[in-house]
Structure 1
Amino acid sequence: MKSLLDRLNIKPVNAGASTGVDNWYTDKNGKELISYNPTTGEPIAKIIQATAETYEKVASEAQNAFLKWRHVPAPKRGEVVRDLGEALRQLKEPLGDLVTVEMGKIRAEGHGEVQEMIDICDFAVGQSRMLYGLTMHSERASHRMYEQWHPLGILGLVTAFNFPVAVWSWNSALAAICGDTVIWKPSSYTPLTAIAVTHIANQVMADHGLSGIFNLTIGSGRDVGELMLNDKRVPLVSFTGSTSVGIHVSETVAKRFGKTILELGGNNAIIVTPHADLEMATRAILFGAVGTAGQRCTSTRRIIMHKSISKDLTQRLTNAYKQIRIGDPLQPDTLMGPLVVNTSVEEMMDALNKSKQDGGEVLTGGEMLPNLGPNFVSPAIVKMPAQTEIVKTETFAPILYLLEYETIEEAIHIHNDVPQGLSSAIFTDSMREAETFLSVGGSDCGIANVNIGTSGAEIGGAFGGEKETGGGRESGSDAWKVYMRRQTNTINWSKDLPLAQGIKFGE
């Protein structure tokens, strides 16, 4: 463990704020935060959290850096992000291991998360030469109209524990090539991964003679988070977390006419039709529901299966669940590690009790496993008679609800009849069913898949959802536009001054 922490510059006691390689801030009034290993329950290291005074130092540095960074040509900004990606490649294994140690996801997923960081850096480098604006034909002779995109300012970035480094990269790589600076407030459950990433980013900045582009403030929502939300120097806040907190973020930032990117709850379902390949569907459901111990926002939480195949699919799933290897996520044969904290265990048990009260039957799993550690559970499959309130509520734990349907229209109605709208999928070999699911009358989610699961999105597409998921989009496609401000330009290269709409004024 010590060699891993040493390689990533993690000390027994760490400063909780930074703006560059020589600028780490430890406030004597900062509260102590302890990062715990969810597998063992043992402490890993301590952090001295940022205070209001520290936040002000970081915000001032980020603002000053932005005033210079915005003038650097976008392809030159892309060179910095390219070097960031190379630095991450060099440290993929230790950083991925730290994600596993601090968050609890299995080693393959921890390394995959760092690969996602590398991928988005590659994407952003290309995007730095493609910050396109449109040219429009003017209705007035000898006039030219076009739009261009300018850097926006400081991005306030609040990330969650379940993807402690990937979401930082989605936002930071694109924000950087767009000419913005970033202030990052990570989850208090995973502060060490944030410190490790910041050390890496700091060195890349230093190699280019920079500071203040990638900044860090570790602190509670009440202390650091509220300052960021109310800071008029921060025109854009990206928040990943619960719907309830997301509402507060949206309202607070909107009051000062700031913008938000909201990545909130997901209650993702897979429809399995009579025309589905059940072996393939079973494998997809298994990864979607059990991967990251059900703690992904895209985790599969509901299976809507046709009555004619429900018995077969249920048997396949229960058999597969009984073979899941639960344990130390660093071990190569482990398929599911712990939940991040013990309160998540309590929430899972509470949800299972409510589902039973609603007539649900736990077919397998749903047990605490204290012999493995304080945060271990067995993943549960629950057969429900109907989509009750607890099924419509996202529980961040490995609970899979099984529901039945008779017609594809009924399946889509059940699918959409939840407050969230992030990821969705259908398994079918019927083109008609697939296209119905993808049509305007089909899935109401931001992500809709055919014959792949709800989890594991690629960086090339825009990531996000509708309804109580928040409507935000990050990562690929044209998500870069939210990090910039659009400007429409009209140039008159004649000697006349015609007005739009043919208006005559004072003639």
Structure 2
Amino acid sequence: HWRMSRGPSGTCVARGLFYQQSAAMSTLLINQPKYAWLKELGLSEDNDGVYNGNWGGKGEVITSYCPANNEPIARVRQATMAEYEETVQKSRDAWKVWADIPAPKRGEIVRQIGDALRKKIKVLGSLVSLEMGKIYVEGVGEVQEYVDVCDYAVGLSRMIGGPVLPSESKSCCTLFKGLDSWQSHRPGHALIEMWNPVGLVGIITAFNFPVAVYGWNNAIALICGNVCLWKGAPTTPLTSVAVTKIVAQVLEQNNLPGAICSMTCGGADIGTAMSKDERVDLVSFTGSTHVGKMVAMMVQERFGRNLLELGGNNAIIVFEDADLNLVVPSAVFASVGTAGQRCTTTRRLMLHGSIHDVVVERVAKAYKQVRIGDPWDPSTMYGPLHTKQAVDQYLAAIEQAKQQGGTVVCGGKVMDRPGNYVEPTIITGLAHDAPIVHTETFVPILYVLKFQTEEEAFAWNNEVKQGLSSSIFTKDMGRVFRWLGPKGSDCGIVNVNIPTSGAEIGGAFGGEKHTGGGRESGSDSWKQYMRRSTCTINYSKDLPLAQGIKFE
């Protein structure tokens, strides 16, 4: 079988012909009694992959597969370019309605979306687990993040806005010695900052968080007064359809245009069209650095806006004074969680030379206790990789690490069971600047590095191209604040005594350098979905001009 090249979602853009033929010949999971719950989400054997107030889909039919057994779940009809054009136009028309609604009222709609998601949280979380492959508690937790961001956005809808700035009431300047001084007065003037929605926000999400990343963008963009066009990953289309059905029902119940939250399932053609389309005011892209760079160039070519959430080659640094009872579970959680497929996954574990051996021994022992199984089994801690392509990348990375001087101390093999299961792996003995260490591989491989000084560790943290998440474990408060300061970590997420993953929604999420620079979710991330205007208002009967100029 074959797969097409990576598209602007950062994932495979299509399944091979072999898969589609086999899906037609085999029994879809949705028709099996064990998976009858899928129909509670409005899913069927064949699903429309376009929503713009009406459901449709006349493009390629793709089959979604379960990574735990590689069996077909159901089919989705993707968008054609004609349907994309229609959807963008309907989205622009819907914005004219949505932008006129007061922000607190928009917040009320987002609150209702959060409540609707709450009612479906377990079944939707189960779908995430089935289609993406992450364990059930992570699938439910991902939907909970969308709910939490909705709650956050409701409060934000009554708080967004700009300041009233002090206007100059008097300025003095002596031009030249011997000349009279002049004075300029501006009484009766107000200087304010206005924030308005950008318009249409295109949201391109990746397979690893098929609900949460859309939720971060969607909830905040909506309360700001924008409409959203979503293109999810081609390998998780059922999740995109199910979420959109929930959101669409809320809009319909409030007599609002469905195109406020539109969706076009598709591959590279749709992602490219969104990136090049001047009607899409902001493109929010989550995926690989390679594809993100292509998206950024297409958007910048038309002087559009982009919000990029790309890769991360994240490090945990453990100093000699660290509490190892915090270190070990943190390292295990952050490196094997979601089978190493989080952008915040710990990929480099830097250990002070004095504690290197004992930490490696304890982490390896903990790895062997990780319960591996079906992702929907509540006792499972570790599920499959998302695709067979990822399994190939896992094997290739291990081989490269060995060639570059690494030693596999734990794991390193594909598991003999159905699905895309691999052993979580620990590799020691590599140089900090080994090519494979500097390569972000979206699989559960942890490279353990040995350092001696603080300066060395901080430098190694910053020497990779990405700059997403980082953490140190220490009791030295001076070191903590050096780590947080200008010569410390250059990442967007800088932690102390906690893992690199597990960010809270109240903070701005994102990173620097090849991670893209975008920020989503909390803090003032809402500003990325709006345009700013500085406004000077003269409410007097006079017109004082700059530099004291007067017209007689």
TM-score, length of structure 1 as denominator length: 0.97
Q: Does 1:483 align with 2:512?
A: no
Q: CA deviation at 1:429?
A: 1.2
Query: Match of 1:24, as an amino acid?
Result: W
Q: How does 1:19-38 map to 2 (within 5 A)?
A: 19-20=52-53, 23-27=54-58, 30-38=59-67
1:339, distance to aligned residue in structure 2 (A): 0.2
* Alignment-derived partner of residue 220 in structure 1: 267
CA shift, 1:186, in A, is: 0.2
Residue 48 of structure 2: aligned partner: 15
* Kept in 1: contact 2:57–2:80 (CA 8 A): no
In 2, Cα distance between the equivalents of 1:192 and 1:383? 40
- Aligned 1:30-179 pairs, distance under 5 A: 30-139=59-168, 140-179=186-225
Aligned equivalents of 2:69, 2:210: Cα separation in 1: 19
The counterpart of 2:453, out of the listed 383, 390, 407, is 407
AA at the equivalent of 2:261: F
C-alpha displacement of 1:332: 1.4
Equivalence for 2:10: none
> Quick one: which amino acid aligns to residue 450 of structure 2?
E
Match of 2:519 in 1: 473
Residue correspondence of structure 1 range 226-237 to structure 2 within 5 A: 226-237=272-283
Q: CA deviation at 1:266?
A: 0.3
* Structure-2 residue corresponding to 1:203: 249
Partner of 2:22: none
Candidates 406, 428, 434, aligned match of 1:383: 428
The CA distance in 2 between the partners of 1:168 and 1:421, in whole Å, is: 22
CA contact (8 A) 1:416 1:444 kept: yes
1:227 Cα deviation from its structure 2 partner:
1.2
For 1:506 and 1:490, how far apart are their aligned partners in 2?
21
Q: Does residue 464 of the first structure (1) align with residue 510 of the second (2)?
A: yes
Find the residue that maps to 2:440 and give its secondary structure. Answer: coil
**Where do residues 254-265 of structure 1 align in structure 2 (5 Å cutoff)?**
254-265=300-311
Amino acid in structure 2 at the alignment position of 1:55: Y
1:2 maps to what in 2? 35
- Give the greater-gyration-radius structure (CA): 2
User: 4+ residue stretches of structure 1 with deviation over 6 A?
Assistant: none
Q: Aligned with 1:105: secondary structure?
A: coil
SS at match of 1:82: helix
Cα distance, 1:374 vs structure 2: 3.3
- Is 2:360 the partner of 1:314? yes
Judge conservation of contact 1:270–1:454 (CA < 8 Å) in 2.
Answer: yes
Q: Say whether residues 1:295 and 2:341 are aligned partners.
A: yes
Q: What secondary structure sits across from 1:288 in the alignment? A: helix
1:326 equivalent in alignment to 2:372: yes
Give, in whole Å, the separation in 2 of the partners of 1:26 and 1:420. Answer: 37
The yes-or-no answer on 1:192 pairing with 2:238 is: yes
Distance in 2, Cα, partners of 1:70 & 1:287: 42
Contact conserved, 2:285 with 2:309, CA < 8 A, in 1? yes
Deviation at 1:372, TM superposition (A): 2.2
For 1:383, give the aligned amino acid. T
C-alpha separation in 1, matches of 2:376 and 2:394: 24
Residue 345 of structure 1, aligned match among 381, 391, 400: 391
What secondary structure is seen at the aligned counterpart in 2 of 1:390? coil
1:503 Cα offset (Å): 4.2
Identity rate of aligned residues, in percent? 52
CA offset at residue 26 of structure 1? 2.3
Q: Deviations over 1:302-330 (max 9, x none)?
A: 01110001011011011011111111011
Amino acid at match of 2:306: T
Which residue matches 2:181? Answer: none
- Residues 44-86 of structure 1: CA deviation (Å, up to 9, x unaligned): 0001110101101111110000011101000000010000000
2:315 to 269, 273, 278: 269
Query: Of 476, 481, 494, which residue of structure 1 is paired with 2:540?
Result: 494
Partner of 2:26: none
Pick one of 440, 447, 462 that aligns with 1:394: 440
> 1: distance between equivalents of 2:283 and 2:430?
41
Secondary structure of 2:495's match? strand
Q: Deviations over 1:225-248 (max 9, x none)?
A: 111111111110000001111111
- Paired letter, 2:401: S
Query: How large is the RMSD of aligned CA atoms in angstroms?
Result: 0.9
* Matches of 1:499 and 1:69, distance apart in 2: 39
The residue that corresponds to 2:7 in the other structure is none
* 1:90 maps to amino acid: K
2:430–2:447: 8 Å Cα contact kept in structure 1?
A: no
**Does the 8 Å CA contact 1:355/1:384 hold for their aligned counterparts?**
no
TM normalised by structure 2 equals 0.90
Give the match for residue 422 of structure 1. Answer: 468
